[in-house]
Amino acid sequence: DQQVKQNSPSLSVQEGRISILNCDYTNSMFDYFLWYKKYPAEGPTFLISISSIKDKNEDGRFTVFLNKSAKHLSLHIVPSQPGDSAVYFCAARSGAGSYQLTFGKGTKLSVIP
């Protein structure tokens, strides 16, 4: 049973436009959400996170939005750059003190020059 779902396996965006990656979750115990970026043959790299007590967190070109009532979060990248082309994983933690992250399946973003 997938507790973290990324329903779009891939996304193509023109350079300079906005990329929106979506993530849905089912476990209401999740209290912290993270986005990771992964290039081929490399490990996932932490990108941005958000606590469940917030609805928005911004870091440069990256913004994560959280809608707790809908159990939905999204990552916005604006403007998108070719170097952003990678697989993006959504992850969630179930409660403070939990050591476990539950990952989605990932969305492959391609930014077209």
Interacting residues toward other proteins by CB under 8 A? 32, 34, 36, 41-46, 49, 87, 89, 93, 97, 99-103, 105-106
3-state secondary structure of 84: helix
Q: How far is the CB of 96 from other proteins (least distance, A)?
A: 9
Q: How far is the CB of 24 from other proteins (least distance, A)?
A: 15
3-state secondary structure of 26: coil
CA 22 vs CA 41, 42, 82, 97, 99: distances in Å: 24, 22, 19, 26, 24
Q: Which is nearer to other proteins, 34 or 111 (CB)?
A: 34
Residues paired with residue 103 on neighbouring β-strands, in sequence order: 91
Q: Which is nearer to other proteins, 15 or 108 (CB)?
A: 108
CA 34 to mean position of chain CA atoms: 6
- Radius of gyration from C-alpha coordinates of the chain: 13
Q: Which is nearer to other proteins, 2 or 67 (CB)?
A: 2
Q: How far is the CB of 57 from other proteins (least distance, A)?
A: 12
Q: How far is the CB of 38 from other proteins (least distance, A)?
A: 8
